[in-house]
Amino acid sequence: MTWQTVVGLEIHAQMSTETKMFCACVRETGAEANHNICPVCTGWPGALPVLNAEAVRRAIRAAISLGCQIQPESRFDRKNYFYPDLPKGYQISQFYRPYALGGEIHFPREDGTDAVLPLVRIHMEEDAGKSIHADDQTSRIDLNRCSSPLLEIVTEPLPMSGVEAANCVRSTREILRWIGVSDADMEKGNLRADVNVSVRPTGSDPLGTRTELKNLNSFVSIQRSVEVESARQIQVLEAGGVIRQETRLWHQEDEVTEEMRGKEDSPDYRYFPDPDLPVVIIELTDIERERSSLPETPASRRVRLVEQLQIAPREAESILARREFGDFFDAMMAAGLSAASASNWFRGEVLRHLNELELNLDDYPLTAESIAAVVKSVEEDRISVAKGREILQQSIADGRSPTEILAGTSEQVSDESTLMAWVQGVLESHPDVVDKIRAGDARLMGFLTGQVMQASKGAANPRKVQQILQRLIQQS
């Protein structure tokens, strides 16, 4: 008998708003412990929450991008439980009436084909604080993260492998980053996933009993926990045992799952509508405003690059790799370059610089406008391609702007009669080379070009020199 693994995900993403979900405290990671807190987010009796409108706008953008149906009316509920990092004794979440239903995540299967993971819902909620268990047997609480705005994206269960489960989270991360809703950085903890795993005999319809692995914070742990947990379940079932619905702990170092507690059911949380917060009303105009502020999607950008701008698909992919790449490419075009030269110089120079310097585009010292100015000088034959590249490199090295370096660069000589004099001088002193070229040794053209460049002390336009050489050698 063979088994099929089924996975359902609950993906938590912290939204990158300035302030927290229900108070004006600054939302930032890495601040001094208990620095960004106030009576509201630390649960003082009588302190009242006020919903952060920017968080709702971001939540709407996420729901649009994931294809959800945004609900005209939604509500916040209290999820009651005790934990030291949750001073209120409840988490504000959306249980009965989430703001977004349905939707889907597109992800690649291991064989490279595209697949769709349907979503159940997305809801808004607040994060809890952090417990820090120190070596000296004490535990400390940092409430900075308390009440940071979260999106919880809940998927339907779908047959998939561990690698594919990680792919689903990766695709979600790409979208959330692309639209600027979340930094979605697993290392910093602002993207986490709960993984629900069950197995069933291949070909059987009803789902097996699932276990839940909470708070996975890397792609490796998502992949491996699915693989290890489904293998464990299969072993139990084949030995005649039963799977208990429970929450299990994932140990990344030993790659094992461990029983943690029986699964809480929703009645355990005594969810009820939060009386401190009014109904959230999202109007069509709100949705349209967010839709119009969304960046071009990767899919529509691909169509524009390939079909409209005639960029080869493989070249387009490197521009599409990150949203800021495409934005920079667009800025180069806006500065007057053709799609073809913007693509060539972006891929050939900008990406190479970023690679060599190990920089993000955000920290790249050159602007699209100054690069365009250099490229235009090349295209107008005032400087050579090599000189253009050199100016960009030099600007990165010494911090002067490319336009400043350009202004101090002597233009190359393209004047026909001046070039002709240099070329003729070289031809006369190398009659043997000319004979060999005429006899078919085309490689020697490079030698002659080099001689002319030398004669001109590097000032001649190499492209024009080649043209003249070719003309003269063929003529006689």
Element (H, E) at 163: helix 162-178
Residues 6+ apart with CB under 8 A from 210: 6, 8, 157, 196, 197, 198, 243, 245
In this complex, which beta carbon is closest to ligand ADP, that of residue 208 or of residue 462? 208
Which residue from 57, 182, 80, 71 is spatially nearest to 121, judged by alpha carbons?
71
- The answer to whether the beta carbons of residues 331 and 369 sit under 8 Å apart is yes
Single-letter code of the amino acid located at 381? D
The answer to whether 38 contacts Zn ion (rule: CB under 5 A) is yes
* 23, interface contact from Mg ion, ligand ADP, Zn ion, none, CB < 5-8 Å by kind: Zn ion
What residues make contact with ligand ADP under the rule CB under 6 A? Answer: 6-10, 154-157, 196-198, 207-208, 210, 212
Write down the least CB distance from residue 6 to ligand ADP, Å.
4
Indicate the SS3 state at residue 371: helix
The answer to whether 55 contacts Zn ion (rule: CB under 5 A) is no
The answer to whether 21 contacts Zn ion (rule: CB under 5 A) is no
Cα(157)–Cα(166) distance, rounded to whole angstroms? 14
Single-letter code of the amino acid located at 240? G
* 9, interface contact from ligand ADP, Mg ion, Zn ion, none, CB < 5-8 Å by kind: ligand ADP
The answer to whether 128 contacts Zn ion (rule: CB under 5 A) is no
Beta bridge partners of 114: 108
In this complex, which beta carbon is closest to Mg ion, that of residue 61 or of residue 192? 192
In this complex, which beta carbon is closest to Mg ion, that of residue 66 or of residue 193? 193
Write down the least CB distance from residue 25 to Zn ion, Å.
3
Cα(454)–Cα(425) distance, rounded to whole angstroms? 12
Cα(460)–Cα(302) distance, rounded to whole angstroms? 40
Q: Determine the residue with CB nearest ligand ADP.
A: 8
Pairing of strands 3-14, 246-251: unpaired
Write down the least CB distance from residue 375 to ligand ADP, Å.
50
Which phi and psi angles does 312 have, rounded to 5°? Answer: -60, 140
Question: What is the footprint of Mg ion within residues 7-66 (CB under 5 A)?
Answer: 10
Cα(417)–Cα(7) distance, rounded to whole angstroms? 75
Q: At what angle do helices 444-455 and 416-429 cross, to 10 degrees?
A: 120
* 326, interface contact from Mg ion, Zn ion, ligand ADP, none, CB < 5-8 Å by kind: none
Write down the least CB distance from residue 165 to Mg ion, Å.
15
Write down the least CB distance from residue 10 to Mg ion, Å.
5
Q: How far apart are the first and last CA of the chain?
A: 83
Beta bridge partners of 197: 7, 211
Q: Contact region for Mg ion (CB under 5 A) — 5-13, 184-192, 298-306, 402-410? A: 5-13
In this complex, which beta carbon is closest to ligand ADP, that of residue 154 or of residue 306? 154
* 198, interface contact from Zn ion, Mg ion, ligand ADP, none, CB < 5-8 Å by kind: ligand ADP
Write down the least CB distance from residue 205 to Mg ion, Å.
23
* 86, interface contact from Mg ion, ligand ADP, Zn ion, none, CB < 5-8 Å by kind: none
In the complex, the residues that contact Mg ion under the rule CB under 5 A are 10
In the complex, the residues that contact Zn ion under the rule CB under 5 A are 23, 25, 38, 40-41
